[in-house]
Amino acid sequence: MLRSPCKIPISHAGLLLFVLALACVAGYAQKVQFSAADRAEVLERVKDAPATDAERASRIKVWFNEAGCNGSFLREQAVTSSSSPNVICELRGEGAEAVIVGAHYEAASATRPLDNWSAAALLPALYKSLRGQRRHHHFIFVAFADQGGDLSGSRFFAGHMSPAELRRAEAMVNLDVLGLSPTKVWTSHSDKDLVHDLVVMVYALKLPASQIDMERASSTDSEAFSFAQVPTITIHSLTEPNLAAGQSTAFRPGNYYDTYRLLCGYLAYLDLTLKPRTN
């Protein structure tokens, strides 16, 4: 993956990271354009998660349609081994290269005690934040119909991408449980350049973020894309108590909205900086 000339090695930290990040973002911050929804709208959607997967898929589809994603750009993808579909919304860009943004929406279960509705509910708002400006990249937002920990939705989606579509996929941004704490990134399972770009936007937008790896958690939707050689990043809000024993913690509206704003800026920044992959 070719990058912008300002590059921060992920091993650097502290003051050096701060200085380099500011230097890097100086040439790009003014070009990053997005239209974030207001806090009340974002928080209203995450409340009262539908009880069934069918209802969740239907509601996400309605929200995409309300955001302006309709016609051939909004569709359901039937998933083998799942009674619920993947919900797919596409935002066309000027180029053929794509960025995939995904989150699973299934209700909490014994294998996934922390409900992921918080991440899936953000997808239509993220789409809307980008659609007001001309984009270079083709953005594909996918609400995955996973079943417990089997990742059936993401595996089905990735498995049905053509070789050409996989080559054109420059990044897969995977969203897991959000709103339990300030933004976290799973760096050991994420592409270092995608992490670098997230750090740039953390400093540009002056929002909190840190690293917590998720090896102790169940598998995540980025895996099928990593296997297909698509660069991925997993963004979440899980804490050590969540990871140690699946302990649930209180939802934090302020942290959730901060993560949403960071993701809006991050996706817009990727649209400017990602270049066609060489492999």
196 lies in some domain: yes
* Per-residue pLDDT at 126 exceeds 50: yes
42 lies in some domain: yes
156 lies in some domain: yes
16 lies in some domain: no
Give the chain's domain count. Answer: 1
* Per-residue pLDDT at 170 exceeds 60: yes
E strands along the chain, which residues? 74-77, 86-91, 98-104, 138-144, 169-175, 183-185, 209-211, 232-236
Residue 9: which pLDDT band, with cuts at 50, 70 and 90? very low
Residue 108: which pLDDT band, with cuts at 50, 70 and 90? confident
Q: What is the pLDDT of residues 112-123, one digit of tens each?
A: 545 679 999 999
Q: What is the pLDDT of residues 133-144, one digit of tens each?
A: 999 999 999 999
Residue 261's domain spans which residues? 34-273
Listed residue (176, 139, 153, 149) closest to 86, CA to CA: 153
At 13 the pLDDT is 47
Residue 8: which pLDDT band, with cuts at 50, 70 and 90? very low
Please report where in the chains the tokens 């140690």 appear, as a residue.
244
* Per-residue pLDDT at 248 exceeds 70: yes
79 lies in some domain: yes
**Beta bridge mates, 95:** none
49 lies in some domain: yes
Is residue 138 packed enough to be buried (19+ CB in 10 Å), middle (13-18) or exposed (0-12)?
buried
E strands along 39-168, which residues? 74-77, 86-91, 98-104, 138-144
173 lies in some domain: yes
HEC assignment per residue over 126-158: HHHHHHCCCCCCEEEEEEECCCCCCCHHHHHHH
| Structure token pair of residue 44 | 């209203």
CATH code of the domain containing 228: 3.40.630.10
At 29 the pLDDT is 57
110 lies in some domain: yes
